[in-house]
Amino acid sequence: MSGHVDRLLASFLKYLENNSFEGKPAGLYEAKNYLASLGGKRARPIALMAAAEAANGTIETALPAAWAFEMFHNFTLAHDDIMDRAVMRRGKPALHDQYDEATAILAGDNMMLFVYQRLMNNYPNEVSIPLMKLVTQTGIEICEGQFMDMEFEKLKRVKEDSYLHMIKLKTAVLLGACLKAGGIVAGADEQDLEYLYDLGLNLGIGFQIKDDLMDAFSDNPKLGKVKGGDIMSNKKTILYIKALELANEQQGLELKEWFSKEVANNSEKVQAVLALFRTLKVEENVEAMMNTYYHKAYQDLQKLSFNNQKMEPLQAFVGFLAGREH
């Protein structure tokens, strides 16, 4: 089934290549092209295109919106990386590190404006307005999620539902918006648009939980990341939150102690925290939580009224992101 994902990715990359940024001053547009080229899975445009095909639309109609939503994502990454002082992005220097911070702020702003331009120039008003309302509301929520994430860093303890709300805003709403946008460009009805959005939300939350899990437990961490990176940087992921829930007083104190300091020997710290996680069965508990969201996503997929044969690319995409096929 991954043939569909590869096919959609290839279409998107071709469109991206044919639509590189050109303009003056050259330095500004060069920075935008660097940002656009940083790549990654391109999950959001693939989601949008798969949803459009499911709703009986064409890739051609979906491509400008797929580009716009991916560039919107890149705009948020450029600014988040400044705020989070992240140096690397997908194994390459982050935009503000490759150029400078002022360029990264400006290239992000400029990129966001091109999102609206692309939508207005490529769709009739009755399609571009719903797409712009969607990307605007989603963007507002992403800002709120990012702000919450930064606030959490200063808190001693974050509750599980606050954390889930934060990752919903920071990550999942954009995947929901992409799937819904695919439905919009293909003319799907309101009920299906709602199911597509919910599917994206659940898939996105599940995927973000998986991201936290992989950071600690996978021997094959994501490109540009090291195993246990979240533990080293005292990040209060769902693993830490769940561990504190499951811990007795002594274990809780030990966890908080590790997560309140920088240490010289990170390897010792990661080992100690992972040992605690194992004792508390954190991986099993968080995996069960992830699977609940993935299960909801599969239920949303069932609710869609689309032709079964047309659904194959979307099913392939869900499997691709939920990790059931590789």
Joined together, the tokens standing for residue 317 give 């995409």
Report in angstroms how near the CB of residue 148 gets to a second copy at its nearest.
6
Phi, psi of 92 (to 5 degrees): -120, 165
Shortest CA distance to 115 belongs to which of 135, 95, 96, 142?
Answer: 135
Q: Which range in 19-27, 191-199, 200-208, 216-224 contacts a second copy by CB under 8 A?
A: 19-27
- Rounded to 10 degrees, what is the CA torsion of 187, 190, 191, 193? 60
CB 168 within 8 A of CB 200: no
Binding segment for a second copy (CB under 8 A), chosen from 125-133, 210-218, 239-247, 305-313, is 125-133
User: Binding segment for a second copy among 114-122, 174-182, 189-197, 236-244 (CB under 8 A)?
Assistant: 114-122
Amino acid, res. 72: F
Nearest-approach distance from CB 41 to a second copy, in angstroms: 24
Nearer to a second copy by Cβ, of 134 and 304: the residue is 134
Nearer to a second copy, 30 or 194 (CB): 30
Name the β-bridge partners of 89: 92
Among 1, 59, 86, 129, binds a second copy (CB under 8 A): 129
* Residue 120 Cβ vs a second copy, minimum distance, rounded to whole Å: 6
120 lines the binding site for a second copy (CB under 8 A): yes
Query: Are residues 283 and 22 in contact, defined by beta-carbon separation less than 8 angstroms?
Result: no
Tokens coding 98: 């490759």
Residue 244, class by beta-carbon neighbours within 10 Å (0-12 exposed, 13-18 middle, 19+ buried)? buried
Distances (CA, A) of 186 to 3, 12, 61, 148: 22, 17, 8, 34
Subset of residues 235 to 264 that bind a second copy, contact rule: CB under 8 A? none
Closest distance of CB 192 from a second copy, Å: 23
Name residues contacting a second copy, limited to 64-83 (CB under 8 A).
79, 82-83
Applying CB under 8 A, among 90, 116, 229, 254 the residue interacting with a second copy is 116
Residue 221 CB neighbours (<10 A): 15
Q: CB-based contacts of 250: which residues, under 8 Å, 6+ apart?
A: none
- Tell which one of 38, 106, 232, 246 touches a second copy (CB under 8 A): 106
Residues 136-165 that bind a second copy (CB under 8 A): 136-137, 139-140, 143-144, 146-148, 150-151
Give the number of residues in contact with a second copy, rule: CB under 8 A: 39
Nearer to a second copy, 144 or 312 (CB): 144
Helices (H) and strands (E) in the chain, counts: 16, 2
Site of interaction with a second copy (CB under 8 A): 23-25, 27-28, 79, 82-83, 101-103, 105-106, 108-110, 112-114, 116-117, 120, 125-126, 128-129, 132-133, 136-137, 139-140, 143-144, 146-148, 150-151
